[in-house]
Amino acid sequence: MEKGVYSIFLDEERCTGCTNCIKRCPTEAIRVRDGKAKIFADRCIDCGECVRICPNHAPIPQSDAREKTGQFRHTIALPDPALFGQFKTKPSPRQILAAVAALGFDSVYEVAWAADAVSIAIREFIQEHKGEGPWISSSCPVAIRLVQVRFPSLTEQILPLLSPVEVAAKLAKEEFSRQLGIPPQEFGCFYLTPCPAQVTAIRSPYHLEHSYVDGALAISGLYCELREKISRTPEQNEPVKATAPGLTWGRVGGQTRAVQSENYLAIDGINNLLQVFEEIELGKFNTNIDFLECQCCQGGCVGGTFTVENPFVARVTLRRMASQLRPKLELEEEQEVLEYYRKGYYRAEKDVEPYSIMCLDKDIAKAIYMVEQSEKILKQLPGLDCGSCGCPTCRTLAEDIVCGIATETDCVFKLRERVQSLAEQMLALALKVPPVTVVQRQIMKTQREVLELAKRLPPVLAKPNQEKEGK
Ligand code: SF4
Ligand code: SF4
């Protein structure tokens, strides 16, 4: 993924500058300036945490417009397994697939089936690289981006295998091209996605030069129409190609179940990911773990910001749906997947690169100097991490000051000190001038008022070091 490509748009009209979002962002990508939140494009990892916390719905996740499907001769829908968890009343997985086709796609290809194939590829890869783990799953673009920006030393641990949606698009174009005699480039593969990070991953893939997927449509944007189509779709006889483990990739624990790894950890939620990555980086982690299933959203992809159903309900629904599918692939299917694996069909074309966006400058000497300067500034700040300055912490304000994008008086305590000092200076100067005119006397009166006001600013918070000094 390129730096600066992300899929969260911030509607300034809606933003009230409340600062709720700045503390929630795991990469410190948001600042509030002039009463409005702003996202630093190169820091945003599309996790959707700001979307979830904002009371005014100012951050808006973006997906492709449906009209884009009109650019292709033959359209193929790629429904994510999480889609199946969105419908808790009655429909069977096959009915849902039929309803997806009824949205206007020429064909549907199951991402859950591609997940079955990728699970076998992961199993083989881990066996071939025993003891070199823990290997980080490569299907959640937020987890990948989090590693890139905050734990760059772990990028080598990311599995060099394509995600199920990329494999699904690759297989779909090849298979339909053979069947219909249409060149692969005339097919448009559209992913029905549970999260905006997948939109970014398609526009700027981390494992490929160009994505096999041509567009991503938010599940939430299609939900009402899909429900209506499902209600009119009769039960279908045609079997679903995916297995139960393939379908449960949409919820936490599903990947590990499908991969059949014995030494694994299934992690969901951004804070849990941060904690585990930190421990791995510090060398505190149990090295027997082979596979880390990492999903940034609570409950897995069923908790993505483009989903509709409560993630806990969706997890149960997905399990119920999966129980209607066959438990595993046939031996011949498994042999075919293994053959493809040996030919490198599922292998990434390029490695995931680390980004050093948390570093203050590309020039190491300059970066060290800037860190020293920011440490000095930090000592002058109150250390309350109150967020009133529009930065998530006093440390980030100190860094922003060094980078020239903030000033010390953005801190309300520093502002108060400055106003007070200015008022004192003005009064002292005025006293040196004989108050000969009424106007000058008025000026002095105003100055005294400014000084009084400055003393009362801010009235609610006390500076910790003043408290310690008993002031
Ligand atoms: S949470 Fe952030 S984006 Fe939402 S209104 Fe508050 S400052 Fe603006
Ligand atoms: S999507 Fe995540 S990383 Fe991007 S600005 Fe929002 S909270 Fe920060």
pLDDT tens column, 397-421: 999 999 999 999 899 888 888 888 8
Q: Is any ligand 1 atom within 6 A of the Cβ of residue 24?
A: no
Q: Ligand 1 pocket, 60 CB below 6 A?
A: no
Neighbours of 246 (CB within 10 A): 30
Would you state the pLDDT for residue 272? 95
Q: 90: burial class by Cβ within 10 Å (0-12, 13-18, 19+)?
A: exposed
Q: Which residue has the higher pLDDT, 233 or 286?
A: 233
pLDDT at 109: 97
Determine what percent of the chain is predicted with pLDDT higher than 90.
67
Tell me, what amino acid is at 212? Y
Report the pLDDT value the prediction gives residue 59, as an integer from 0 to 100.
95
pLDDT at position 452 over 80: no
Task: Determine if ligand 2 sits within 6 Å of the CB of residue 22.
Answer: no
pLDDT interval class at 460 (50, 70, 90): very low
Mean pLDDT of the chain: 88
pLDDT of residue 260: 85
User: Which residue, by CA, sits nearest to atom 8 of ligand 2?
Assistant: 25
Per-residue pLDDT tens over the stretch 33-68: 889 999 998 889 999 999 999 999 999 999 999 999
Residue-level pLDDT at 462: 43
**CA-nearest residue, atom 6 of ligand 1:** 18
Residue with token string 């897995």: 300
pLDDT at 433: 65
- Count Cβ atoms below 10 Å from residue 14 Cβ, excluding itself: 15
Would the CB of 37 count as within 6 Å of ligand 1?
A: yes
- Residue 39 CA, closest ligand 2 atom number: 5
The closest residue, in CA terms, to atom 2 on ligand 2 is 47
Tens-place pLDDT, residues 201-232: 999 898 899 999 999 999 999 999 999 999 88
> What's the pLDDT tens digit per position in 120-173?
999 999 999 988 879 999 999 999 999 998 999 999 999 999 999 999 999 999
- Mean pLDDT for the stretch of residues 296-313: 94
Ligand positioned closest to the Cα atom of 297:
2
